[in-house]
């Protein structure tokens, strides 16, 4: 029985020698360096890598150079794995990197004699979103002063053989989603100016859809609306629905209060509970009022991306600075002979 076991072990050892050459055969004096995309996060969607080698002997040639791009640090999950022959290599990832993930990369070099060399791993590096809207794109709304606004966005770069992005921009009214302006561009052009006039004092949303020759696509909508301010007095006195509602949310801690005033008037805005009890005074105060000239109030200054005049907000605290319980409250507006009330939902802090 023991002799049979020894014989079996000998067969296994002989096979291992054939399949896995001794370590002495796998040694090499050569070295390699991988140069990848700069920055963190990476702004290339299909980045290029350069692999250079040195110190290899003529008997090591030809080399097999393998670029490995992984989504885990131990390289057990490879996103890209490309092998070429030669003393050096320039390799472009042939497909778009996933957005907002960590990646690592390294090179694996195999000599003609079977020696294996790995370069040091680089990472983690985070990839960028494929498409980002820049302006006007305030978290809580934006205000512009032209009826022909300019829209700006950015996208990750691509390299041949992947063709550049194609962009489709749509500007639509929030009230009815009517597409007021549409346009098409090709990367690297990421700025678009409206060719037809937009309406003042109207809320608009804008979206950009980007597509690649690889079939990848992404659509991004502005965080909130933008409004074009008008220099003319409003036609009516109006209290608008506060926003965001409910609040707070992940982006903002207070809610904005907008109103239009047709005539010179004193204005008072209060926060009430559902029983009509006073909770907090918004105005007059904070440098506003008591008399207001005709105009539009609550909007941010032109060029600001806050979407809101901080003096006309409520953060969920009463007049004594104490946070009120979560629940439904009322915004009451009194001015220019108009009394108007809107419900709001405070989620608590």
Is the confidence at residue 168, as pLDDT, over 60?
yes
CATH architecture under which domain 131-228 falls: Sandwich (2.60)
Segment 229-238 shows an average pLDDT of 81
Residue 119 to residue 49: CA distance in whole angstroms: 13
Q: What is the mean pLDDT of the chain?
A: 88
Pick the more confident residue, 142 or 189. 189
Residue 115 to residue 31: CA distance in whole angstroms: 12
Bond preceding residue 246 cis, omega within 30 of 0 = yes
261, 234 Cβ separation under 8 angstroms: yes
Residue 267 to residue 309: CA distance in whole angstroms: 16
Segment 291-311 shows an average pLDDT of 79
Residue 339 to residue 235: CA distance in whole angstroms: 17
Give tens-digit pLDDT for 67-97. Answer: 999 999 999 999 999 999 999 999 999 889 9
The confidence band for 17, taking pLDDT boundaries of 50, 70 and 90, is very low
Is the confidence at residue 111, as pLDDT, over 70?
yes
Residue 335 to residue 301: CA distance in whole angstroms: 23
**Per-residue pLDDT at 28:** 73
Segment 188-194 shows an average pLDDT of 95
What homologous superfamily does CATH list for 2-126?
Answer: Macroglobulin (MG2) domain (2.60.40.1930)
Burial class (CB in 10 A: 0-12, 13-18, 19+), 154: middle
The confidence band for 303, taking pLDDT boundaries of 50, 70 and 90, is low
* Alpha carbon distances (Å) from 138 to 42, 141, 183, 282: 24, 5, 22, 23
Does this chain's domain 2-126 share its CATH topology with 238-346? Answer: yes
The confidence band for 252, taking pLDDT boundaries of 50, 70 and 90, is confident
Is the confidence at residue 13, as pLDDT, over 80?
no
The confidence band for 333, taking pLDDT boundaries of 50, 70 and 90, is very high
pLDDT more than 90, % of the chain: 69
Beta-carbon contacts of residue 305 (< 8 Å; ≥ 6 apart): 135, 136, 137, 138, 139, 140, 141, 142
**Per-residue pLDDT at 3:** 55
Q: Say yes or no: domain 238-346 is CATH 2.60.40.1930.
A: yes
**Per-residue pLDDT at 306:** 62
**Per-residue pLDDT at 238:** 94
**Per-residue pLDDT at 94:** 85
Helix (H, G, I), strand (E, B) or coil at 189: coil
Q: Hey, where are the domains in the chain?
A: 2-126, 131-228, 238-346
DSSP assignment of 114-142 equals: --EEEPPPEEEEEBPPSEEEEET--TT-E
The confidence band for 302, taking pLDDT boundaries of 50, 70 and 90, is low
**Per-residue pLDDT at 201:** 77
Segment 227-250 shows an average pLDDT of 87
Is the confidence at residue 20, as pLDDT, over 70?
no
Bond preceding residue 62 cis, omega within 30 of 0 = yes
């Amino acid at each position: 029985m023991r002799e049979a076991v020894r014989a079996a072990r000998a067969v296994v050892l002989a096979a291992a020698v054939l399949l896995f050459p001794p370590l002495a055969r796998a040694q090499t004096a050569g070295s390699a360096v991988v140069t990848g995309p700069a920055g963190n996060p990476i702004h290339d969607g299909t980045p290029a890598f350069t692999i250079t080698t040195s110190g290899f002997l003529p008997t090591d040639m030809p080399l097999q150079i393998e670029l490995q791009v992984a989504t885990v640090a131990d390289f057990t999950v490879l996103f890209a794995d490309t092998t070429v022959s030669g003393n050096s290599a320039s390799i472009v990832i042939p497909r778009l990197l996933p957005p907002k993930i960590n990646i690592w990369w390294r090179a694996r070099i195999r000599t003609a004699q079977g020696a294996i060399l790995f370069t040091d791993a680089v990472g983690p590096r985070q990839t960028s979103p494929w498409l980002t809207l820049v302006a006007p794109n305030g978290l809580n709304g934006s205000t512009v002063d032209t009826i022909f606004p300019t829209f700006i966005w950015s996208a990750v770069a691509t390299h041949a053989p992947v063709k550049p992005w194609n962009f489709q921009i749509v500007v639509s009214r929030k009230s009815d989603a009517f597409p007021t302006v549409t346009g098409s561009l090709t990367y690297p052009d990421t700025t678009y100016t409206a060719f037809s006039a937009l309406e003042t004092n109207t809320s608009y949303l804008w979206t950009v859809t980007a597509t690649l020759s690889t079939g990848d696509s992404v659509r991004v909508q502005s965080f909130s609306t933008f409004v074009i301010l008008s220099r003319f007095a409003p036609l009516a006195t109006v209290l608008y629905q506060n926003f965001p509602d409910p609040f707070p949310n992940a982006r903002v801690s207070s809610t904005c209060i907008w109103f239009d005033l047709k005539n010179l008037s004193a204005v008072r805005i209060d926060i009430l509970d559902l029983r009509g009890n006073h909770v907090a005074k918004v105005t007059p105060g904070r440098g506003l009022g008591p008399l207001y000239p005709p105009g539009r109030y609550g909007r941010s200054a032109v060029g600001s991306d806050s979407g809101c005049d901080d003096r006309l907000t409520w953060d969920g605290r009463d007049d004594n600075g104490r946070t009120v319980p979560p629940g439904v409250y009322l915004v009451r507006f009194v001015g220019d002979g108009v009394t108007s009330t809107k419900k709001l939902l405070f989620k608590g802090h």
